[in-house]
Chain A
């Protein structure tokens, strides 16, 4: 069966640095990969979507890449700020639905 894995449960980073989060999938390449932000006790908030035929997508300080050879998506936050501290989820589109990874909890230290 298809699996999606975020291999870091937690990541601490100094304010101003670039945070890089990893998402790996097995077997078939999804047509779309999505990234969400989730704050404690709240629902996930959609951030970015990248298509299979796109290598890179940007939105303000956020950048997502999609490497179908490595079966991997990377999520970057440049010039990180304490307000970026949250859990970030990746999700793959599969069989007409979205399947989520377990998330990486990012802490940006002032």
Chain B
């Protein structure tokens, strides 16, 4: 069964810490995405990548960075965690961009910054 795996289901971090969220897909997909999901705001795109070492900003990139050194792995980095980054983080992948195919999502990481 193909899947997107996020390394942690729950994380609690302190303000100012550097946080790494890892995502791995086993479908050989070109495109990978990071979203955050907050009540009443829906899913918002943070960053996406359409190839190894390539990255593009989404709607809310401030305070985040990403890394894609291998095709199957896409990491989200919170450079200095803040309480307003408490959220559910969702990683997704798709064969191509443009909405031609459905996205496959991971189970999510619920991050709490205290």
Show the binding face of A for B, using Cβ within 8 Å: 30-32, 34, 36, 41-47, 49, 89, 91-94, 96-103
Contact = CB atoms under 8 A, between A and B. Distances in A.
A99 B45 contact: yes
B22 to A, nearest CB: 15
Contacts of B43: 44, 89, 100
A94 B99 CA distance: 8
Query: Number of contact residues on B: which range applies?
Result: 20 to 34
Nearest to B59: A99
A110 B35 CA distance: 34
Interface centre among A31, A94, A96 (most CB of B within 10 A): A96
A98 B103 contact: yes
Given A34-B102, A42-B108, A99-B45, 20 more contacts: A30-B99, A31-B98, A32-B99, A36-B102, A41-B110, A42-B107, A43-B92, A43-B105, A43-B107, A49-B99, A49-B102, A91-B99, A92-B99, A93-B100, A94-B99, A97-B58, A97-B97, A97-B99, A100-B35, A102-B40
A45 B90 CA distance: 12
Contacts of A99: 45
Interface of B: 4, 33, 35, 40-43, 45, 48, 50, 58, 90, 92, 97-108, 110
Nearest to A46: B102
Given A42-B107, A43-B105, A97-B48, A102 B42 contact: yes
Main secondary structure of the interface of A (DSSP, over half): strand
Among B43, B48, B104, B110, chain A packs the most CB atoms within 10 A around the CB of: B43
B105 A101 contact: no
A66 B102 CA distance: 17
A97 B56 CA distance: 11
Given A100-B42, A101-B42, A102-B41, A41 B102 contact: no
Contact of A103 (B42, B101, B104): B42
B113 to A, nearest CB: 19
